[in-house]
Amino acid sequence: MIDRETYDRKGLFRRFSEDCKCSTSMTARIDATELAAYSGKTGTKFYINFLYILSKVLNSRDDYKMGYLWQTDELICYDRINPTQYVFHEDTETCTPVYTEYDEDYGKFYDALHIELPDGHLFFAPIVNWGKYRNENGRLVMPVSVRLNHAIAGGYLAANVFRLLEKEIKAFAGTGL
């Protein structure tokens, strides 16, 4: 449980969870060249590799692992957050949520993997969407959108996700772990 009286974002938390319930969201193009090359070289799936890196980034800071227990009005920080992705069914034009348990061990995570919410809700888990990468001036770039509840994260922390993603892509593709 987070003590709201000593929480370093106390004033901002109160402002954006009571007075002005909203989220902050931004989209940026990140360089996925090394990750695409790594995925091709190792015969692994780009999607799963990116989901692993994204999960690693979002588990790297407490700011991204916040939760709210409305039953007891408690602000909490999860030990770990797990990714949820949606599988689209063309025949029924519906989606099924698939939950994957995040494991820092890449091999375990890779083997384990076979929402937009309206503002005003106290939902703190990051919502991240990404599109297909494309060639742009000899580099493969892809759009990534990050949405965080403004009560627990501002623009700096949302922008930091992109910096951490590119850093982790380089480390992952360079070492394979």
How confident is the model over 51-74, as pLDDT tens digits?
A: 999 999 999 999 999 998 989 989
Of the candidates 117, 120, 156, the one whose C-alpha atom is nearest the C-alpha of residue 22 is: 120
Residue at 2 is within a domain: no
Residue at 147 is within a domain: yes
Give me the CATH number covering residue 46: 3.30.559.10
Domain extent at residue 50 = 10-175
Angstrom distance (rounded) from CA 68 to CA 60: 19
Residue at 94 is within a domain: yes
Angstrom distance (rounded) from CA 161 to CA 144: 10
Residue at 4 is within a domain: no
The pLDDT tens digits of the residues spanning 107-146 come to 988 887 654 445 555 778 788 888 888 999 999 999 998 8
Residue at 5 is within a domain: no
How many domains does one find in the chain? Answer: 1
User: Is 62 in contact with 79 (CB distance < 8 Å)?
Assistant: no
What is the pTM (predicted TM-score) of this model? 0.73
Residue at 116 is within a domain: yes
